[in-house]
């Protein structure tokens, strides 16, 4: 399995200049390769084949481009191959209905990373500190806040400069271990299955009767607005403008890191504590494009949460299924009768069978039942709703997830997961 480990670098001022020089050289090479790519007709092969043709021209390119000789060859090659990755990514977005154009040249602010692929890097101890030795660059101090796995193979290292000016090293490692086998669906007990309904007021409401509140980022957003107002009063690209711009970027990064920390811990909890997880397959693109509540929808980052959850379920050997979200709040989880209710009605009361529950709890049960049906176990007698109706909802603040990594006071740990 492949993982990424991210560490903070502590370069000196001269090392920062060297890193920026390598980064800008790679940027110019990328722009040159993109120009060459646009000149090659599509009849010459697939996207990858055409980009490889440009990569094979690097030795001849070095004869007249002296700056390329200052950069390690295993850095130049991935820089050219990034074009193939970017073009294929645009193609996937186009298939999903997004309007995409063509790749454009990268400005210095847009090109912020370069990669050492396979060789040219090594972790070492020098002068009592851990350094990352980079070929044709420098020995840069690195903060190893957690050790790399001893049985892992480091395939590449990406050097990335954040908009704040901080440098990070991202180690791409490969571990020769297979994820645990997923348990047979027929052997999964009802308490080991979970359906999750995501929202804005309550970020996640599950079938175990737990409602996790959304992350409170009001203080961070207030600070961001203040810093943005100050930035608008500075002379564009002056020294004071640049200092203030970094403060604004720092606010954005603080919000991003806090949100991702919350989503990582919440998704990790569900993937580890259950054998089957069902969520909604939301079309967030259309929801964000609507004029109603679009900022809160984007801030919720539901697609990021489901992507993290899917990856962690694969890693932990947990069944993961996405279901059609339409009608999950209208249908009664007990009898299936649909009941129209406006958004402000937060309770579900079925006129047919009398079943009453929180609106989101009812939706979570429908999501779980649809997930079981999609997996072919919808008729299982082990998980009928009438034998496991949700009890009183336990509302959990997002702060508890951030501090403890779990939305429950005492984590449920399956016997099979111990050790």
What are the tens digits of pLDDT across the range 355-412? 777 778 888 888 888 888 888 875 544 444 544 454 566 777 777 777 777 776 454 5
pLDDT of residue 229: 95
- Boundary of a domain, candidates 126, 156, 175: 175
Domain that includes residue 19, residue range:
2-175
Residues 319 and 225 in one domain: yes
Same domain, 171 and 195: no
Same domain for 62 and 210?
A: no
User: Which residue has better confidence, 12 or 394?
Assistant: 12
pLDDT at position 219: 92
Q: How confident is the model at residue 415 (pLDDT cuts 50, 70, 90)?
A: very low
Rounded (10°) angle between helices 47-55 and 13-39: 120
Between 31 and 293, the more confident residue is: 31
Q: Indicate the pTM of the whole model.
A: 0.77
207 and 354 co-located in one domain: yes
Identify whether 262 is part of a domain. Answer: yes
Q: What is the pLDDT of residue 362?
A: 82
Considering the domain boundaries, does residue 180 fall inside one? no
How many Cβ atoms are within 10 Å of 228's Cβ, its own excluded?
15
Residue 131 pLDDT exceeds 60 = yes
In contact, 131 and 139? CB cutoff 8 Å: yes
- Give the model's pLDDT for residue 342: 66
- Alpha-carbon Rg for the chain, nearest whole angstrom, is 25
> Rounded distance, CA 206 to CA 365, Å?
8
Query: Which residue, 151, 175, 199, sits at the end of a domain?
Result: 175
pLDDT score for 23 = 96
Q: How far is CA 154 from the centre of its chain?
A: 21
Residues 360 and 287 in one domain: yes
Q: Give pLDDT, residue 141.
A: 95
Question: Does residue 171 sit in the same domain as residue 189?
Answer: no
Domain shared by 239 and 358, yes or no: yes
Residue 416 scores a pLDDT above 50: no
Percentage of the chain modeled with pLDDT above 70? 88
Q: Is the pLDDT of residue 255 over 50?
A: yes
Which of 145-149, 187-191, 319-323 is the least confident region? 187-191
Tokens of 285: 């693109």
Same domain, 155 and 219: no
Supply 25's token pair. Answer: 């050289």
Please report whether residue 310 resides in a domain: yes
Q: How far is CA 121 from CA 25, 66, 124, in A?
A: 19, 23, 10
129 shares its domain with 204: no
Residues 279-305: what's their mean pLDDT? 68
- Domain identity same for 222 and 344: yes
296 has a pLDDT exceeding 70: no
More confident residue, 384 or 144: 144
Task: Report the DSSP pairing between strands 202-206 and 152-161.
Answer: unpaired
Task: Report how many domains make up the chain.
Answer: 2
Q: Both 260 and 366 in a single domain?
A: yes
Whether pLDDT at 139 is above 90: yes
How many other C-beta atoms lie within 10 A of the C-beta of residue 157? 24
pLDDT score, position 408? 67
Neighbour-count burial of 231, counting CB atoms closer than 10 A to its CB (0-12 exposed, 13-18 middle, 19+ buried) = middle
Instruction: Note the pLDDT of residue 21.
Output: 96
Parallel/antiparallel/unpaired status of strands 121-126 and 394-396: unpaired
Chain centroid to CA 319: how far?
20
Is 368 in contact with 207 (CB distance < 8 Å)?
yes
> Looking at per-residue confidence, does 103 or 378 come out higher?
103
Residues 119 and 216 in one domain: no
Query: Counting Cβ atoms within 10 Å, is residue 48 exposed (0-12), middle (13-18) or buried (19+)?
Result: middle
Q: What are the pLDDT digits (tens) for 310-363? A: 999 998 899 999 888 887 777 877 777 777 776 777 777 777 777 777 778 888
- Domain end: 125, 145, 175, which one? 175
Read off the pLDDT of residues 278-289 as tens digits, 9 standing for 90 and up.
Answer: 988 876 665 555
Picking from 73-82, 198-207, 239-248, 301-310, which range would have the lowest pLDDT averaged per residue? 198-207
């Amino acid at each position: 399995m492949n993982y990424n480990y991210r560490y903070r670098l502590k370069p000196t001022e001269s090392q920062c200049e060297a890193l920026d020089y390598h980064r800008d050289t790679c940027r110019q090479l990328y722009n040159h390769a993109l120009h060459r790519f646009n000149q090659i007709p599509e009849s010459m092969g697939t996207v990858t084949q055409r980009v490889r043709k440009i990569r094979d021209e690097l030795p001849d390119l070095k004869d007249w481009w002296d700056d390329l000789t200052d950069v390690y060859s295993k850095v130049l090659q991935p820089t050219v191959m990034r074009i193939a990755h970017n073009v294929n990514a645009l193609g996937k977005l186009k298939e999903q209905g997004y309007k995409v154009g063509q790749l454009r040249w990268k400005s210095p602010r847009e090109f912020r990373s370069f990669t050492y692929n396979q060789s040219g890097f090594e972790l070492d101890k020098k002068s009592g500190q851990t350094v990352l030795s980079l070929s044709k660059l420098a020995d840069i101090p690195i903060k190893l806040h957690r050790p790399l796995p001893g049985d892992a193979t480091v395939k590449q290292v990406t050097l990335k400069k954040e908009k704040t000016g901080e440098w990070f090293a991202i180690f791409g490692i490969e571990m020769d271990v297979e994820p645990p086998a997923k348990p047979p669906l027929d052997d999964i007990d009802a308490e080991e299955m979970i359906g999750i309904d995501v929202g804005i007021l309550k970020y996640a409401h599950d079938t175990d009767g737990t409602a996790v509140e959304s992350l409170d980022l009001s203080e961070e957003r207030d600070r961001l607005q203040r810093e943005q107002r100050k930035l608008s009063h500075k002379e564009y690209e002056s020294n004071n403008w640049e200092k203030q711009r970094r403060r604004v970027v720092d606010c954005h990064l603080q919000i991003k890191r806090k949100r991702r920390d919350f989503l990582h811990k919440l998704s990790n909890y569900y993937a580890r504590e259950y054998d089957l997880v069902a969520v909604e397959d939301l079309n967030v693109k259309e929801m964000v494009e609507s004029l109603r509540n679009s900022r809160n929808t984007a801030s919720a980052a539901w697609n990021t949460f489901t992507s993290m959850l899917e990856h962690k379920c694969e890693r932990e050997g947990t069944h993961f299924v996405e279901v059609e979200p339409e009608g999950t709040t209208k249908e009664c989880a007990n009898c299936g009768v649909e009941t129209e209710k406006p958004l402000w009605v937060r309770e579900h009361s079925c006129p047919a069978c009398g079943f009453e529950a929180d609106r989101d709890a009812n939706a979570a049960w429908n999501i779980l039942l649809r997930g079981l049906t999609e997996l072919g176990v919808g008729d299982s007698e082990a998980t009928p709703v009438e034998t496991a109706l949700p009890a009183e909802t336990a509302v959990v603040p997002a702060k508890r997830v951030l501090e403890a990594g779990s939305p429950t006071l005492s984590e449920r740990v399956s016997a099979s997961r111990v050790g």
